[in-house]
Amino acid sequence: MQTIIFTIAVALVLSFVLGLLLGLFKKIFAVKVDPKVEAIQAELSGGNCGGCGYAGCAAFAQAVVNGDAPANGCVAGGASVAKKIAELMGVEVSAVKKAALLTCQGTKDCALSRGNYNGVKTCEAAVQAVNGTKLCAYGCTGFGDCVAVCTFGALSMGSDGIPHVNYEKCVGCGKCAKACPKKLFAIIDLPKKGSIALCANRSDNKPPIKKNCSKGCIKCGICEKKCPEKCIVVTNGIPVVDYSKCTSCGECIKACPDKALSLIEEVTTA
């Protein structure tokens, strides 16, 4: 009995001593956190989406205090968070909402399939194995890697076989753009106006383009010729718009025989 009591007493004493030592070590080796960092982090969403370019919200908060990141760098927080962080840092900022835009219209109805794919059902795996599921080598693979990484519930796979963006939820963090092996997402500022090509096919082999996808850009250059502002130039196979000149007149869209062009303001409010 005495042995049991002695053992319990020794255990209690050791626990007490170890507790004191741990408390002492915690004070000695404690890393001081700047109150501003804690205050900024408290204003962030905590989603750790990486849209700011840093590993997480804590890293972004530290970068803001260090002067390495702008006060409006939290794309998930938007204008309200940018304003609060700016007040904490004593600076002025203008918050710009960002969003993702899919530059492909290769739905099941207009883009031909390569056939039955029996591999791992991810876009990355399908691209690695057979360069995607569509005859258009640039088209959306359709397995939803982008949807899987979206932490804001802003993306969903449609019955047409391509992802759709909910612009009320999208914060433009860019995770979908990084996850897409075909690089089909553009991260744009909102509100934004002007024409944009919803086709990523850069091939200069024109005949298969129309055969493989009814909405594929065939590089005819009609958009260039019809643009009254001369703000469209087909570059590397894709119509590129100078938005400092574009007036959203829609003439290029009307003229495009492939319906490869759309107005950004219409796409992002649909």
The answer on pLDDT for 96 being more than 80 is no
- pLDDT attached to residue 10: 72
Note the pLDDT tens digit of each residue in 228-262: 999 999 999 999 999 999 999 999 999 999 999 99
- pLDDT attached to residue 47: 79
In a 10 Å sphere around its CB, with 0-12 CB exposed, 13-18 middle and 19+ buried, how is residue 76 labelled? buried
* Residue of 69, 66, 73 lying closest to 44 (CA atoms): 73
Residue-by-residue DSSP string for 7-26? HHHHHHHHHHHHHHHHHHHH
**Are 73 and 39 within 8 A, CB to CB?**
no
Q: Tell me if the pTM is above 0.85.
A: no
What is the distance between the alpha carbons of residues 44 and 140, in angstroms, rounded to a whole number? 33
Note the pLDDT tens digit of each residue in 201-214: 999 898 899 999 99
- pLDDT attached to residue 145: 98
The answer on pLDDT for 19 being more than 80 is no
What is the distance between the alpha carbons of residues 180 and 114, in angstroms, rounded to a whole number? 19
Q: What is the mean pLDDT of the chain?
A: 90
Query: Which pLDDT band holds residue 32 (cuts at 50, 70, 90)?
Result: low
Residue-by-residue DSSP string for 156-200? EE-TTSSEEE-TTT-----HHHHH-TT--EEEEEES--SEEE---
- pLDDT attached to residue 99: 94
Note the pLDDT tens digit of each residue in 181-197: 999 999 999 889 999 99
